[in-house]
Amino acid sequence: MCGIAGIIHKGKSTNVGGEMQKMLQSLKHRGPDSTGYALYGNGESNNYILRFKVGENVKEGSSAVKEDESIYQERIEQVNKKISTSGATLHKEEQITPYSYRYVISYDGDLLDLAKQIESVEMTEILSLGKSLELIKDIGDASVVADQYDLGDFAGTHGIGHTRMATESGVDIRSAHPYWAYPFSDVSVVHNGQLTNYWNNRRALEKKGMRFMSTCDSELIAVYLADKIRNGIELEESMRGSLDDLDGVFTYLVATKDKLGMAKDHMAAKPMVLYESDDLVALASEEVAIRTVLPQEIDTYDPYEGEVKVWQA
């Protein structure tokens, strides 16, 4: 099943972390295995915020292989060396969990080169690398993850999130949503549905040099959009193209530094409820999620089949 949600405030920064937590917690019944947030904050003085992990959460219910935590320190030392040799400068280092880190770095070079260097360290995966995007995902429901990563007070303009019921791949962080559209800063994707031409598309994209970190079909959407953007195609046009190029049943949300978009397949087989006002847009798999942030009676509707919409922050 899975649940997706998103909210964007037009021209205003607010407690988007707390809002997304409430929305995603109300969708727990659609996906209790893991929860992910892609939050767009106010940034760190034009520096890059790097969210990454050097291991997996191996608590009960996880399908990840258990490792000795002492190995994480060795990996972190290697990551720090890679950052330094890539010409980036590390300004701030925060350890959030034994396996998850938030860095603030400055860097003028090619993001793809930097990302490749960091991910050359064993079991290391960049969750996000951007000037306003912070991508957090872990095993557990929305409140568990928000408490673990202290997201309740996160301020920003917009965010998207996902509650996952694992069907196509394991219960682990690498298979959790959102996905960062590697190697483009500040682009993230969440998806509800199944893609039936995953391997055909994946093979074609890998031949073009695109990178996949999981076997989760949803990652394909992020990589597909990244490839289009890399070729100079605008976000909205890329999303329209995805409706014909991706087979299956799906509704997905995509966010960039200042935009939030949604796309629904031609069959309209996956739900999405939308509310739009002059101040904000809120959308989710179920209206009950929107009502956690807008408890008053509101006018909502289901976008139709084949619909693509993009809103500006």
Partner 1 sequence: MASIKKHKSAEMGLHDEVLTGRTQQVFFNPEEGENFFYHDSYKVDFNKRTEIDANNIECIDINRKINELMAKGYGTIVIKNPGSKHSIGVGILNKLNLIIEGSLGYFGIGSVDGPVVRISGRVGWSCAENMMAGKVVVEKNAGSCFGAAIRGGDLICKGSVGARSGIDMKGGTIIVGGDAGAFTGFMMQRGRIVILGDVGPNLGDSLYDGTIFVGGSIKSLGADAVEAELTDLDIAWLKRKMKVAEIEKKIDYKKITKIVSGKKLWNYDNLEPTERKGAI
Binding residues vs partner 1 (CB under 8 A): 266-269, 271, 273, 286-288, 290-291, 295, 297, 299-302, 304-305
Compare residues 132 and 192 and give the one whose CB is closer to partner 1.
192
Torsion angles phi and psi, residue 253, rounded to 5: -120, 145
Please state the separation of Cα 107 from the chain's center in Å. 22
Compare residues 138 and 141 and give the one whose CB is closer to partner 1.
141
| Cβ at position 299, least distance to partner 1 in Å | 6
| Cβ at position 20, least distance to partner 1 in Å | 18
Compare residues 111 and 269 and give the one whose CB is closer to partner 1.
269
Pairwise CA distance, residues 283 & 263, whole Å: 12
| Cβ at position 302, least distance to partner 1 in Å | 4
| Cβ at position 177, least distance to partner 1 in Å | 22
DSSP reduced 3-state for 306: coil
Pairwise CA distance, residues 263 & 218, whole Å: 13
Compare residues 60 and 299 and give the one whose CB is closer to partner 1.
299
Pairwise CA distance, residues 138 & 56, whole Å: 9
| Cβ at position 164, least distance to partner 1 in Å | 19
Pairwise CA distance, residues 313 & 297, whole Å: 24
Compare residues 173 and 282 and give the one whose CB is closer to partner 1.
282
Closest CA to 187 of 216, 148, 158: 158
Helix axes 70-85, 111-119, angle to 10 degrees: 150
Of 1, 2, 29, 248, which residue is the catalytic one? 2
| Cβ at position 267, least distance to partner 1 in Å | 7
Pairwise CA distance, residues 30 & 34, whole Å: 11
**Cis before 183? omega within 30:** yes
Residues comprising the chain, all counted: 313
Compare residues 208 and 266 and give the one whose CB is closer to partner 1.
266
Tell me, yes or no, if 216 is annotated catalytic: no
Residue 189's alpha-carbon distances to 60, 158, 218, in angstroms, are 27, 13, 8
Query: Residue 275 is inside which H or E element, if any?
Result: strand 273-276
Pairwise CA distance, residues 135 & 180, whole Å: 8
Residues with catalytic roles? 2
